């Protein structure tokens, strides 16, 4: 069965930051620091999904999706990132899973969508090797409670974005700007992934995936310097996270002045390359790369993409980039590429309800339709794609952008928490009703 789903993440929708024993995460700390997020927005309340989840499950049932990708908040399960389980935190996901199954919706939890318990960050966060071991312990606790009903699990969400935005550039929590000093955060996340695969399987998980953010990398020209820069960017964004997981080795990082990653110990790559049942791919747009200007500290420069429509975020809309990416993954990894699930794809728009209350987001309808067609083309070209999840079910807390980028199929009025399905919701419902897989 092809999985048609929606995707969300705990910190972006749940709210209830202090309830039922939840501990603080790096995103609570970061969003409460002045100047970190647009207008100082935080996820304290977000979509109040922690209380309104029955309504949200009903919205998904009405949409007709057969899968839901959500994330489990580690600080609800282990408020300090280690030690005993907080049963009340897991109770929430237990109820959610039961309600989803009752509605015929396959639950697909992600264990880490960037909300590291603050106590672990205080000990070095993902720069510390110990965090990988703590992650596996947490995975065992979550699966120990849920794996009797949850068959498919995702370990990490987008370790590239978490490393780059959180540890290299300081745009996301935990707000560190270490540039290449952030690389241990890549390795320790991947090690945590590998250790968690073992823990999940031991607890009875049947299918285990990782979700990587991937981008087709376009060189700004055929000049050798631009081609080399594009290759360096591909290494950082795509290969650093796909190669170790799929083929058990790191790509050549010499463009970054790194001969070997010091944080890698003997045996780590065997753990990281534990066989998977699928790979989650999040796709938003391609990236066009040029050689860096003389004073740049990195071996590439983002040259920007013009000639395409853009989302409210300013991201270029290139549906065929999804086909290109999927086919490229198949070409690069061959039989080492497990079945692919597009675990996020979607667009932000300035959605405002009209006087009749209708949100006529026809741009999103066109976006989704064309990206789904791109998935179909990739399938015809031989890529084993088994799922497609729209980001997102609800308008939500979009990290550093606060509540400014609306990605939902359902509009959320953040003052009243009123949910209003947009035109794209009705379109997807009709599309799914007619879909043959
Ligand atoms: C992805 C994140 C997701 C959401 C979308 C727009 O990088 O995984 O949480 O913010 O971007």
- CB of 398 closer than 6 angstroms to any ligand 1 atom: yes
Whether 283 is in the pocket of ligand 1, judged by its Cβ within 6 Å, is no
pLDDT of 180 over the 80 cut: yes
Chain centre distance of CA 237: 14
**What's the mean pLDDT in 165-169?**
98
E-strand stretches of 113-157: 152-157
* pLDDT value of residue 163: 98
Q: Residue 284 Cα, ligand 1 centroid: separation in angstroms?
A: 9
Contact between residue 419 and residue 410 where contact means Cβ atoms under 8 Å apart = yes
With 80 as the cut, is the pLDDT of residue 354 above it?
yes
Give me ligand 1 centre to Cα 215, in Å.
Answer: 13
Give the C-alpha separation, 174 to 180, whole Å: 16
> Is residue 373 pLDDT above 80, yes or no?
yes
Instruction: Say how far apart CA 166 and CA 160 lie, in whole Å.
Output: 10
As a 3-state breakdown, the chain gives helix, strand, coil percent values, each rounded to 5, of: 45, 15, 40
Judge if the beta carbon of residue 161 lies within 6 A of ligand 1.
yes
When pLDDT is averaged across residues 235-248 and rounded to a whole number, the result is 99
Q: In the structure, what pLDDT confidence band is assigned to residue 295 with cuts at 50, 70 and 90?
A: confident
Give residues with Cβ within 8 angstroms of 176, minimum separation 6: 125, 166, 167, 168, 170, 182
C-alpha 197/C-alpha 116 separation (Å) is: 18
> Of the listed 121, 231, 324, 344, which one is catalytic?
344
Check residue 153 and report its DSSP letter. E
**CA–centroid distance, residue 161 to ligand 1 (Å):** 9
Share of the chain above pLDDT 70, in %: 100
Cα–Cα dist 423/6, whole Å: 16
| Ligand 1 center–CA 263 separation, angstroms | 27
Closest CA to 299 of 260, 258, 329: 258
pTM of the model: 0.98
Average pLDDT for 75-89: 98
**How close is the Cα of 256 to the center of ligand 1, in Å?**
26
Active site residue 344: yes
Of all helices (H) and strands (E), which one includes residue 300? none
Asked if the model's pLDDT at residue 58 lies above 80, the reply is yes
Mean pLDDT, range 167-192, rounded to an integer: 98
Asked if residue 390 has its Cβ within 6 Å of ligand 1, the reply is no
Q: Give distance in angstroms: CA of 8 to centre of ligand 1.
A: 9
Indicate the pLDDT class of residue 175, thresholds 50, 70 and 90: very high
pLDDT at 436: 80
178 neighbors 160 (Cβ within 8 angstroms): no
pLDDT at 235 over 80: yes
For this structure, is 158 an active site residue?
yes
Closest ligand 1 atom, residue 157 Cα:
8
- Which residue is catalytic, options 14, 121, 158, 324? 158
9 lines ligand 1 (CB under 6 A): yes
Please write the tens of the pLDDT for every residue from 193-212.
999 999 999 999 999 999 99
Mean pLDDT of all residues in 151-171: 98
Report whether residue 158 contacts ligand 1, using a CB cutoff of 6 Å.
Answer: yes
Region 40-44: mean pLDDT is: 98
**Reported confidence tier of residue 371, pLDDT bands at 50, 70, 90:** very high
Q: What is the pLDDT of residue 296?
A: 78
CB of residue 214 inside a 6 A radius of ligand 1: no
Confidence of residue 94 (pLDDT cuts 50, 70, 90): very high
Longest Cα–Cα distance in the chain: 63
Nearest to 390 by CA among 414, 434, 422: 422
Best residue for ligand 1 mutational test, from 25, 70, 158 (most atoms within 8 Å of Cβ): 158
Instruction: From the CA of 12, give the closest atom in ligand 1.
Output: 9
pLDDT at 294: 78
Average pLDDT over residues 65-91: 98
Mean pLDDT rounded to a whole number for the chain:
98
- Measured CA to CA, the distance from residue 81 to residue 348 in angstroms comes to 32
Other CB atoms closer than 10 Å to residue 104's CB: what's the count?
Answer: 11
**Does 157 sit in the ligand 1 pocket, CB within 6 Å?**
yes
Residue 213 near ligand 1, beta carbon < 6 Å: yes
pLDDT of residue 437: 77
Q: Output the CA 342–ligand 1 centroid distance in Å.
A: 13
């Amino acid at each position: 069965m092809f999985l048609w789903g929606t995707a969300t993440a705990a910190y972006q929708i749940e709210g209830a930051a202090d309830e039922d024993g939840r501990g603080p995460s790096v995103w609570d700390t970061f969003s409460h620091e002045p100047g970190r997020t647009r207008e100082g927005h935080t996820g304290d309340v977000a979509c109040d999904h922690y209380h309104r989840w029955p309504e949200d499950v009903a919205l998904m049932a009405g949409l007709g999706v057969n899968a839901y990708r959500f994330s489990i908040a580690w600080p609800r399960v282990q408020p300090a990132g280690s030690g005993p389980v907080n049963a009340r935190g897991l109770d929430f996901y237990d109820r959610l899973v039961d309600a989803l199954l009752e509605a015929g919706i396959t639950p697909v939890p992600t264990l880490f969508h960037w909300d590291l318990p603050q106590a672990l960050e205080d000990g070095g966060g993902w720069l510390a090797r110990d965090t990988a071991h703590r992650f596996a312990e947490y995975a065992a606790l979550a699966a120990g409670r849920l794996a009797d009903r949850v068959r498919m699990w995702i370990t990490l969400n987008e370790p590239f974005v978490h490393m780059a935005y959180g540890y290299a550039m300081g745009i996301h929590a935990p707000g560190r700007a270490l540039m290449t000093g952030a690389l241990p955060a890549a390795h320790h996340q991947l090690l945590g992934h590998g250790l968690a695969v073992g823990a999940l399987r031991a607890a009875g998980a049947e299918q285990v995936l990782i979700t990587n953010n991937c981008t087709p990398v376009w060189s700004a020209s055929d000049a050798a310097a631009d081609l080399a820069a594009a290759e360096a960017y591909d290494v950082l964004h795509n290969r650093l996270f796909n190669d170790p997981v799929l083929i058990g080795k790191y790509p050549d990082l010499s463009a970054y002045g790194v001969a070997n990653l010091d944080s890698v110990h003997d045996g780590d790559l065997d753990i990281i390359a534990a066989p998977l049942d699928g790979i989650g791919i999040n796709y938003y747009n391609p990236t066009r790369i040029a050689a860096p200007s003389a004073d740049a500290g990195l071996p590439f420069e983002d040259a920007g993409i013009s000639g395409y429509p853009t989302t409210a975020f300013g991201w270029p809309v290139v549906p065929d980039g999804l086909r290109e990416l999927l086919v490229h993954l198949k070409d690069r990894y061959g039989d080492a590429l497990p079945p692919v699930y597009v675990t996020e794809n979607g667009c932000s728009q300035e959605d405002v309800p009209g006087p009749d209350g209708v949100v006529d987001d026809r741009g999103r309808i066109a976006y989704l339709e064309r990206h789904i067609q791109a998935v179909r083309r990739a399938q015809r070209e031989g890529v084993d794609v088994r799922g497609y999840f729209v980001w997102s079910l609800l308008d939500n807390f979009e990290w550093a952008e606060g509540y400014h980028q609306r990605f939902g199929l359902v509009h959320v009025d953040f003052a009243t928490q009123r949910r209003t399905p947009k035109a794209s919701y009705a379109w997807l419902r009709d599309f799914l009703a007619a879909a043959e897989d």
